[in-house]
Amino acid sequence: METAHDIEALTSGAMASIWSWVETKIPAGVEVFDAHAHIGVDIDGRTMTADGMRDRMEAAGVKKSIVFPLNDPNARDDYSGPNDVVWSAYEEHPSSFVPFFRLNPHLGYDKEFGRCVERGFMGLKLHPVSQKFELDDPKVVRLFGMAAEIDLPVLIHAGFAMQRIVEPLLPTVEAHPGLRLILGHSAMVEVLSAARAFEGHPNVLFETSVVQLKDLYELCSSIDPSRICYGSDIPYGDLPSTLHAILAAAEAAGVPDGALPGILSENIRRWFP
């Protein structure tokens, strides 16, 4: 259960001084944009409601969040049920949420892809570990091509439990240089090779949620800050500690304060004007 108390605990008591450092680090006037959050229910028992998400955003001063389903136990084969939950959240709070839909590439996805695009979803989320696929599976490569064709941004889980990221993904990025791609969790298991491989592909962004501090530091040290976007991965991460992590890593890596508005907001916001 999400309560106001949870949010308070992350910004007071032992966390108070950390949170006030975060607040002073966020440049004045920056409307923080969270590029990775979930609404719905997961097979592991995690849940997040639209209202719980909004409460957290308000408490942490976050203005907008990209939201998409979890690994939902009630997902019909095509994910349409969980996608509808995200759409309802967006309809209720259109200024707070940027809705992405989720698909299972192993199943016939054309109908749900078409339905969600028609409806107005603004991006697609794919999770290679939860849905058990490789990034160079022909069904997935075809899906990337479909997204590229209609200029639909794609966020892929590129974090915990991933084995191969750069090598299977690079041919797709090279074939579709216009494809707007968000690497969820910054390709943390291959962060340095990903930074090198995708350096010349400005439509690939590195999203920072729940990445170990050493990997965030390496990311901030090895790629232009205009390629980094902040994320929380709510309900697995929380806004105060993920904001602290990216701001601390950026400072340690010597990222100039002038680049922080980009990391916290503008680098991803420009995709969703």
Footprint on this chain of Zn ion (rule: CB under 5 A): 233
Least distance (Å) from Zn ion to the CB of residue 40?
11
d(CA 162, CA 134): 9
DSSP class per residue in 43-82: TTS-EE-HHHHHHHHHHHTEEEEEEE--S-TT--TT-HHH
- Residue 127 Cβ vs Zn ion, minimum distance, rounded to whole Å: 8
Using the minimum distance from each CB to Zn ion, give the nearer residue, 231 or 240. 231
Tell me whether residue 130 or residue 203 sits nearer to Zn ion (CB atom). 130
Q: Which is nearer to Zn ion, 78 or 233 (CB)?
A: 233
Q: Which residue is nearest to Zn ion (CB)?
A: 233
254 φ/ψ sector (left φ>0, alpha ψ -120 to 50, else beta) = left
Decide whether 242 or 260 has the Cβ nearer to Zn ion. Answer: 242
Distance of closest approach, residue 36 Cβ to Zn ion, in angstroms = 6
b/e map 105-142, b = 16+ CB within 10 Å: beeebeebbeebbeeebbbbbbbbebbebebeeeebbe
Shorter beta-carbon distance to Zn ion: residue 32 or 182: 182
CB of 7 to Zn ion, least distance (A): 19
Q: And the tokens for 216?
A: 């965030």
CB of 57 to Zn ion, least distance (A): 16
Count of other CB atoms within 10 angstroms of residue 220: 25
